[in-house]
């Protein structure tokens, strides 16, 4: 899994930061990608990456402010031009369906793929299959706004193939059966137990992506024990009064969310244009006094999860 930030600014685009969009690349896990929010010109940002819009399987919208949705119509249309035929599902607050369908209808946009739109009125599970569960909860902003928690389900243990060979298991389907947790009987009548040649199941990752929000308990609950928490940091401690007034959070409040949630890693985004690029490290340094493993995202940066949920940053 890899998170690539396509827009990390707040409110309106700047030369350094576009409006909000985060791509979750699940190419190894399911061969697709999930997009979280789609600010204006998101597809322009995609042009500067190796991302393929036709690979986008799901789009999760946090709220209906323009800096989080104005890129949707163009991206949906371009996905058709780029050969997208697989279904696409959009999740979001009530109103997203009317907005998308009206825009597509009035503009005469033709889609070459099935488009489904799921609106949410209540917190809870919004998607689940054999690999993932996605939860949503309402945050505290000036309009209804969602945060999402993506839980990867437990991964099967690894087959200790050399040990299996030592026990006399031949190459072929018996190895696959053991990998799937089934005991097998060899030609000589001996039974090889899966538990003896397969490691224990491994916990999957948890990623929490929060929309615009004040500091709130709902954010902490969504972030509980998360591998990565993505939290807005529109303001800093010196502008905390403005943060509260406009339904946003400071870098320090985001750090307290990660700390109370006992998360592993915090990424700050949705940075106000009042902060110049050179000030990003200062924002991160301040937050690290509360939560050590904090970084500030910039456009195009990627955070990749590798073995044992370690994180590699790709600038």
Q: What is the pLDDT of residue 25?
A: 98
Residue 55 clears pLDDT 90, i.e. is over it: yes
Distance CA 175, CA 131 (A): 23
Same domain, 124 and 64: yes
What's 138's domain CATH number? 3.60.15.10
Same domain, 186 and 96: no
Bridging pattern class, strands 21-26 and 32-36: antiparallel
Same domain, 64 and 146: yes
Residue 119 clears pLDDT 90, i.e. is over it: yes
Distance CA 293, CA 278 (A): 19
With 0-12 / 13-18 / 19 or more C-beta atoms within 10 angstroms meaning exposed / middle / buried, residue 144 is middle
Same domain, 167 and 216: no
Q: What is the pLDDT of residue 201?
A: 87
pTM: 0.92
Strands across the sheet containing 265-269 = 124-128, 132-138, 146-152, 206-210, 228-232, 265-269, 294-296
Which of 197, 223, 248 is at the close of a domain? 197
Binding residues: 63, 65, 67-68, 141, 212, 270
Distance CA 149, CA 176 (A): 32
Residue 181 clears pLDDT 90, i.e. is over it: no
Residue-range definition of the domain harbouring residue 267: 2-155+204-314
Residue 302 clears pLDDT 90, i.e. is over it: yes
Active site annotation includes 217: no
Residue 309 clears pLDDT 80, i.e. is over it: no
Q: Categorize the per-residue pLDDT at 305 as very low, low, confident or very high, splitting at 50, 70 and 90.
A: very high
Residue (of 44, 49, 54) closest to 19 by Cα position: 44
CB 54 within 8 A of CB 86: yes
Same domain, 178 and 231: no
What's the mean pLDDT when you consider all of the chain? Answer: 95
Q: Over range 149-170, report the average pLDDT.
A: 92
Same domain, 166 and 192: yes
Same domain, 11 and 90: yes
Same domain, 188 and 62: no
Q: Over range 151-171, report the average pLDDT.
A: 91
Same domain, 249 and 208: yes
Residue 308 clears pLDDT 70, i.e. is over it: no
Same domain, 251 and 187: no
Over residues 207-224, the pLDDT tens digits come to 999 999 999 999 999 999
Find the DSSP H helices in the chain: 42-46, 66-69, 72-81, 96-107, 161-166, 173-179, 194-197, 217-222, 240-245, 251-261, 280-288
Same domain, 151 and 178: no
- Angle between the 72-81 and 96-107 helix axes, to the nearest 10 degrees? 60
Task: State how many domains the chain has.
Answer: 2
Which residue among the candidates 67, 129, 183, 196 is catalytic per the annotation?
Answer: 67
With 0-12 / 13-18 / 19 or more C-beta atoms within 10 angstroms meaning exposed / middle / buried, residue 10 is buried
Residue 106 clears pLDDT 90, i.e. is over it: yes
Over residues 248-280, the pLDDT tens digits come to 999 999 999 999 999 999 999 999 999 988 899
Same domain, 171 and 234: no
């Amino acid at each position: 899994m890899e998170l690539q930030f396509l827009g990390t600014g707040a409110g309106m685009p700047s030369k350094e930061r576009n409006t909000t969009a985060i791509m979750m690349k699940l190419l190894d896990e399911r061969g697709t990608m999930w997009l979280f929010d789609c600010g204006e010109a998101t597809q322009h940002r995609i042009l500067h990456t190796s991302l393929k819009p036709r690979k986008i399987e799901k789009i999760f919208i946090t709220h209906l402010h323009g800096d989080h949705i104005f890129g949707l119509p163009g991206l949906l249309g371009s996905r058709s031009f780029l050969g997208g035929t697989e279904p696409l599902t959009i999740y979001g607050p009530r109103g997203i369906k009317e907005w998308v369908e009206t825009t597509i209808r009035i503009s005469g946009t033709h889609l070459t793929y099935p488009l489904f739109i799921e609106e949410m009125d209540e917190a809870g599970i919004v998607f689940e299959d054999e690999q993932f569960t996605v939860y949503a909860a309402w945050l505290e902003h000036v309009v209804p706004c969602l945060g999402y928690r993506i839980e990867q389900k437990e991964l099967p243990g690894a087959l200790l193939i050399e040990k299996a060979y030592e026990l006399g298991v031949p190459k072929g389907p018996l190895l696959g059966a053991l990998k799937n947790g089934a005991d097998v009987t060899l030609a000589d009548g001996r039974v090889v137990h899966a538990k003896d040649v397969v490691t224990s199941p491994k916990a999957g990752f948890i990623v929490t992506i929060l929309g615009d929000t004040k500091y709130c308990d709902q954010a902490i609950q969504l972030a509980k024990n998360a591998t990565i928490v993505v939290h807005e940091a529109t303001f800093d401690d010196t502008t905390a009064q403005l943060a509260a007034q406009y339904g946003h959070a400071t870098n320090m409040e985001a750090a307290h969310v990660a700390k109370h949630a006992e998360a592993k890693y915090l990424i700050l985004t949705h940075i106000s244009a009042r902060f110049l690029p050179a000030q990003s490290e200062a924002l991160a340094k301040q937050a690290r006094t509360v939560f050590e493993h904090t970084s500030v995202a910039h456009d195009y940066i990627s955070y990749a999860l590798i073995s044992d949920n370690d994180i590699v940053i790709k600038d």
